[in-house]
Structure 1
Amino acid sequence: MIGTETTGSIPVHLLFRDQPEAVVPVGDDGGPDTIAMAAPTPPAAGRRPAIPAPSKVQAAPAKARAENKSQPQARATSKPQAASRPAPTADPALVERPGPVLPGWVGVVAGALAIAWCAGVVWWVGAVPAEAARMLRLPARPYHGINLGQWALLALGVVAALFALGGLGRGRVGYAWVLSLFGDYRGTVRRTGLVWVSPLLLRRRVDVRLRHWRSEPLSAVDAKGTALDVTVLVVWRVRDTVRAALGIDGHEEYLREQVEAAMARVLSQLPADAFHEDAPTLRDAEAVGEALTRMLSAECAPVGVDVFSAQPTRIEYAPEVAAAMQRRRIAAIDAKHRDSVLTSVVDAVDDVVHRLTSRGLVELDDYERKALVKDLTVAFYTGRTGPVEGA
């Protein structure tokens, strides 16, 4: 690779300049034109670049970033700018409140009384058969038909019985009822056991338990545009039942869509792997999960959903690039291993030669020193990289 590259001469005095300036060409030295570039500023020790929080402004142009680097104090005291996009909002009128509910025994007693009322009216008009009256030990009454008023009393008793018994329901642990009447929100019932709710109210059951959802492999790309397959585990719960049931069309579908959107935003900020440099990557599951949880919490809070955790359980390359990226990863690991071995060999050779010469054990001229260094380097490197006996 080096043999195919062309290089040009760079004036030596430009390598030690503090700030780059325009290069004034003095003459053609036979090589290509060169441009003086500023040396990269190393990151501060102990600091790890974190994934930025959601709803932040986009990065400034390169010129503005260069000015900010030269003025760290001014950047620290500057005020944050407005968000680049508005956060979702909810209807302020949709606030959860207790709904009208009575204990279940009230409905049972009212239904029993309504049934007894209907039976009394039937007996009073004499519509009870004689055999049934003798079995119940009731005095017989003559039957002369049922007039309009008696029909009204019977209808009233039947309606009361249906109204009392039709409102009975069983409240379960971990579930709530969102009540509405003709499209108007009437309250939320979180009570358990036998309860009575007006049968005129429409009930929507909402699961308020702590729930978890493991996504199927989702497609995404990292900061370098490499295709990825990511699986996310989300732990969430409905906090405000009215906003989850009436404020949005399907809060579960909304959560799934927001997971995919937030994942795309987070993963596109860092590369999946840094093969030849020590830089933050998506392999830091804690940082990625924290950023993903923060974004999802901000997006789902207006619809009454609390997101407690969103952690990527698997970040792998897509099948079409997995083989190529695996070869790159193996090559990078092999290069790092060879570099560490070569560094240790050079240090060992330098230590041996220094000890031999400093203690006066041998006197070496330049030719003998080069020969000794060569032989020691070959011996040490062969011993460190050779196969282990018995393996």
Structure 2
Amino acid sequence: MNEPVVRHPVIRNESTTEIPVHLLFRDETGVSSVPSGATVVGRRKGTGEQRKVTAVPVPTPVPQGPVERPGPAGPGWAAVIAGLGAVAGCGAVLWWVGLVPGPLRVLLGLPVRTYDGIGTAGWGALAALVTVGLCAFGGLARGREGYASVLTLFGAYRGSVRRTGLVWLSPLLVRRRVDVRLKHWRSEPLATVDRNGIALRVVVLVVWRVADTARATLTVADHTGYLRGQVEAGLARVLSRLPVDALSAAADSGGTRTLRDTAAVGDALTREVAERTAAAGIEVFSVQPVRIEYAPEVAEAMRRRNLAALEAKDRDRALASVVDAVEDTVRRLTARGLVGELDDYERKALVRELTVAYLGGR
């Protein structure tokens, strides 16, 4: 007879405690294994269900370039005064060392000075005065309405100047003039497709201006080319959502939106392009389609298709009106007793004759 096996604890004072199954699936307090950018949904504690994680799309960050700020600029009249003072100082130094010609000295009424050579102090004074004069006159610039100057020093952005009139800018700064006036651009026919894949040619009118000169010149290589590219991309995104034409009863009653609704299409284009071009410092006020037409390779086929659809709609409308007229005629004749009780054959014959008569009259 087998004796029962007695289990001896390996470790003294060892004890065993039962753990409920549902506790094995509980989360520890303060510990989360959900990745960033995810949402936990549909989980019940204590049921052993695993957490359901749905990924949340993270928007792609738009690269941000330098932001426009006022650049270093001084009044032009102060630079002119400093330059004239430097010229006068050079003349005084030349007179002091005796290098002023005699006729000029007599004309100016200056006393005679003998030439004893230019010392170190004279050369230093002349160099300083010449430097001041070159900086004063070399930094003069004329600011015009509707234009701004973007200043850079050794490739680093130093600010933008929108002042008008005579201004002074450091000769060490590289200047790049930017047109900030309100402009409109009428595009040439751009190729795109509608929701059904039909090739189109679209002409748009864009009203825009440069709002941030730093981004327009330093963020993109050519801000006008960037605007053109975004307009073409916006056309491809917006026009592919709707059909160019919808020849159906729903379209006639206003139930179907098409690209012929230029106001709605223009608003969608404006929002799309303005959002995309803001990173390049371009402010877009309006993007309106001026002309939407079929591409030359499909224009004739689409014209025949539209004519056939219009003819079919006209036939359906005429047939519906004839059927309504026949039904009303038969009902009124029966109600007034002008015809007796008709069997199916006679009723069909009457309906046929009335239909032929109405259609012949139309």
TM-score of Structure 1 vs Structure 2, range by shorter chain: 0.7 to 0.9
Asked if 1:176 corresponds to 2:137, the answer is: no
**Any idea what the Cα deviations from partners look like across 1:129-156, whole Å, max 9, x if unmatched?**
2122222222232233433432332222
Q: State the SS of the aligned residue for 1:312.
A: strand
Q: State the SS of the aligned residue for 1:98.
A: coil
Q: Residues 111 and 160 of structure 1 are in contact (CA less than 8 Å); yes or no, is this contact kept in structure 2?
A: yes
**Any idea what the Cα deviations from partners look like across 1:165-204, whole Å, max 9, x if unmatched?**
1111111111111111111211111111111111111111
- Whole-Å Cα distance in 2 between the matches of residues 89 and 130 of structure 1? 67
Asked if 1:330 corresponds to 2:307, the answer is: yes
Partner residue of 1:288 out of 253, 258, 265: 265
- TM superposition shift of 1:357: 2.1
Partner residue of 2:80 out of 86, 94, 108: 108
Q: Map of 1:113-152 to 2, 5 A cutoff?
A: 113-152=85-124
Match of 2:64 in 1: 90
**Any idea what the Cα deviations from partners look like across 1:104-160, whole Å, max 9, x if unmatched?**
111111111111111112222222221222222222322334334323322222221
Asked if 1:304 corresponds to 2:276, the answer is: no
Distance 1:163 1:129, change over 3 A: same
- Whole-Å Cα distance in 1 between the matches of residues 341 and 111 of structure 2? 137
Asked if 1:254 corresponds to 2:229, the answer is: no
Q: State the SS of the aligned residue for 1:294.
A: helix
Partner residue of 1:266 out of 238, 241, 248: 238
**Any idea what the Cα deviations from partners look like across 1:244-275, whole Å, max 9, x if unmatched?**
11122222211111111121122222222223
Amino acid at match of 2:298: V
Q: Residues 223 and 269 of structure 1 are in contact (CA less than 8 Å); yes or no, is this contact kept in structure 2?
A: yes
Q: Residues 87 and 299 of structure 1 are in contact (CA less than 8 Å); yes or no, is this contact kept in structure 2?
A: no
User: What's the Cα RMSD here?
Assistant: 2.2
Match of 1:196 in 2: 168
Distance 1:167 1:354, change over 3 A: same
Gaps of 5+ in 2: 1-53
Amino acid at match of 2:174: L
Match of 1:314 in 2: 291
Gaps of 5+ in 1: 1-78, 385-391
Match of 2:351 in 1: 373
Q: Map of 1:152-171 to 2, 5 A cutoff?
A: 152-171=124-143
- Whole-Å Cα distance in 2 between the matches of residues 205 and 80 of structure 1? 47
- Whole-Å Cα distance in 2 between the matches of residues 364 and 176 of structure 1? 92
Amino acid at match of 1:90: Q
Amino acid at match of 1:290: D
Q: Residues 101 and 195 of structure 1 are in contact (CA less than 8 Å); yes or no, is this contact kept in structure 2?
A: yes
- Whole-Å Cα distance in 1 between the matches of residues 87 and 283 of structure 2? 47
- TM superposition shift of 1:333: 1.1
Match of 1:38 in 2: none
Q: State the SS of the aligned residue for 1:96.
A: coil
- TM superposition shift of 1:80: 11
Q: Map of 1:23-62 to 2, 5 A cutoff?
A: none
Q: State the SS of the aligned residue for 1:119.
A: helix
Q: Residues 88 and 299 of structure 1 are in contact (CA less than 8 Å); yes or no, is this contact kept in structure 2?
A: no
- Whole-Å Cα distance in 1 between the matches of residues 359 and 80 of structure 2? 91
Percent identity, please: 60
Amino acid at match of 2:89: W
Asked if 1:347 corresponds to 2:324, the answer is: yes
Q: State the SS of the aligned residue for 1:111.
A: helix
Q: State the SS of the aligned residue for 2:306.
A: helix
- TM superposition shift of 1:372: 3.7
**Any idea what the Cα deviations from partners look like across 1:63-112, whole Å, max 9, x if unmatched?**
xxxxxxxxxxxxxxxx99526x6253214xx2221111111111111111
Q: Residues 176 and 206 of structure 1 are in contact (CA less than 8 Å); yes or no, is this contact kept in structure 2?
A: yes
- TM superposition shift of 1:287: 2.4
Amino acid at match of 2:295: A
Q: State the SS of the aligned residue for 2:202.
A: strand
Q: State the SS of the aligned residue for 1:194.
A: strand
Amino acid at match of 1:376: L
Asked if 1:215 corresponds to 2:193, the answer is: no
- TM superposition shift of 1:322: 0.6
Distance 1:80 1:362, change over 3 A: farther
State the TM-score, normalized to the length of structure 2.
0.77
Q: Residues 275 and 328 of structure 1 are in contact (CA less than 8 Å); yes or no, is this contact kept in structure 2?
A: no
Match of 1:61 in 2: none
- Whole-Å Cα distance in 2 between the matches of residues 235 and 253 of structure 1? 15
- Whole-Å Cα distance in 2 between the matches of residues 80 and 325 of structure 1? 44
